[in-house]
């Protein structure tokens, strides 16, 4: 029994990092279960029945019993969320989903490949791994320089940046960046990736080609977040799987893109 799966939290902070990217910090008001990196919560964006469904957000950070999220305004729900002010309350369910597995002993180097808001899912894992002294290389792609502000809290020695408009770092996408460094990948490397489908399917393919282990975090529209609606499925080699339950983290070679 885990009656703490559904709880309320108070907004400590909900601030714009760029005009459409926000950082949200919540202080839970009831008991809840500790989240693991890669897991997500379903957040209510409205106190009414419209929008009806909660929205899934990866846990960006968990510190001092506060939950932190990073989100981009995409549609109505995220817009409503961005209008919420400090002191307002919001309902949550979670944590849900499989977390990123830990690297095993044989892993010599971890690559984090992500872009845009994909970092929302990986930041917590990065913190864990650096805390454990794991060797890390972060490859990050953004549309444009100012969006790199979302990396400000991230403490990693080796972080490689690409911007599509070339305002900072490498000019191109994170995939271009990946390509130009991928000769350094060892069979004992491990990749964690999160981002748009194009990024994930590309990394999936490269990992398979090179015989490297990769964990890919996916997104799908969700209703429940905990496996009962069967609404969030993706096609895998073993048939449809629920992103919220069997995922959101999948292994290389599992998903049929």
Helix axes 174-181, 197-210, angle to 10 degrees: 10
By a kind-dependent CB cut-off of 5 to 8 A, residue 211 interacts, out of other proteins, ligand FES, a copy of itself, none, with none
In contact, 195 and 118? CB cutoff 8 Å: yes
When asked if residue 3 is in the footprint of other proteins (CB under 8 A), the reply is yes
Is residue 80 a contact point for a copy of itself (CB under 8 A)? yes
CA 132 to CA 104: how far, in whole Å? 12
CA geometry: angle 206, 207, 208, nearest 5 deg: 90
Question: Stretches 86-94, 117-125, 146-154, 204-212: which one binds ligand FAD (CB under 6 A)?
Answer: 117-125
In the bound complex, what is the minimum distance in angstroms from residue 5's beta carbon to other proteins? 5
Binding of other proteins at residue 78 (CB under 8 A)?
Answer: no
Q: How many residues bind a copy of itself (CB under 8 A)?
A: 11
Q: What is the DSSP letter of 108?
A: -
Smallest distance from a copy of itself to CB 244, Å: 24
CA distances from 256 to 88, 214, 216, 237 (A): 42, 15, 13, 6
**According to the binding rule CB under 8 A, does residue 46 interact with other proteins?**
no
Q: Of 162, 170, 242, 249, which lies in the binding site for ligand FES, with binding defined by CB under 6 A? A: 242
| Residue 238 token pair | 């073993």
What is the nearest approach in angstroms of a copy of itself to the Cβ of residue 129?
A: 39
Single residue of 26, 224, 249, 255 touching other proteins by CB under 8 A: 224
Per rule CB under 8 A, is residue 43 in the interface with a copy of itself?
Answer: no
Q: Is 219 in the site for ligand FAD (CB under 6 A)?
A: yes
- Pull the structure tokens for residue 228: 């009962």
**Which position has the token pair 């959101």?**
248
Q: Which is nearer to other proteins, 160 or 222 (CB)?
A: 222
State the binding partner of 5 from a copy of itself, ligand FES, other proteins, none, CB within 5 to 8 A by kind. Answer: other proteins
Instruction: Point out which residues bind other proteins (CB under 8 A).
Output: 1-3, 5-6, 44, 49-54, 91, 93, 220-235, 239-240, 245
Q: Which residues bind a copy of itself (CB under 8 A)?
A: 46-51, 80, 83, 85, 87-88
């Amino acid at each position: 029994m885990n009656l703490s799966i559904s709880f309320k939290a108070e907004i400590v902070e909900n601030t714009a990092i760029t005009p459409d990217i926000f950082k949200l910090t919540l202080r839970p008001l009831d008991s809840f279960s500790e989240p693991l990196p890669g897991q997500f919560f379903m957040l209510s964006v409205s106190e009414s029945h419209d929008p009806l469904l909660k929205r899934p957000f990866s846990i960006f950070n968990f510190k001092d019993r506060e939950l932190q999220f990073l989100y981009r305004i995409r549609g109505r729900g995220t817009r409503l969320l961005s209008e919420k002010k400090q002191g307002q309350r919001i309902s949550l369910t979670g944590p849900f989903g499989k977390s990123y597995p830990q690297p095993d002993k044989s892993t010599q180097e971890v690559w984090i490949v992500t872009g845009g808001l994909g970092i929302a899912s990986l930041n917590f894992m990065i913190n864990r791994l650096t805390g454990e002294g794991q060797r890390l290389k972060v490859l990050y792609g953004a549309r444009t320089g100012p969006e790199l502000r979302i990396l400000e809290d991230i403490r990693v020695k080796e972080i490689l940046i690409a911007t599509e408009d070339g305002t900072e770092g490498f000019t191109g996408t994170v995939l271009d960046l990946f390509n130009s460094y991928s000769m350094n990948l060892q069979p004992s490397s491990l990749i964690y990736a999160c981002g748009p489908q194009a990024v994930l399917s590309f990394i999936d393919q490269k990992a398979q080609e090179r015989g490297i282990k990769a964990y890919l975090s996916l997104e799908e529209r969700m209703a429940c977040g905990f496996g009962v609606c069967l609404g969030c499925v993706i096609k895998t080699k073993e048939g449809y799987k629920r992103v919220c339950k069997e995922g959101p983290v999948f292994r290389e070679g599992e998903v049929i893109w």
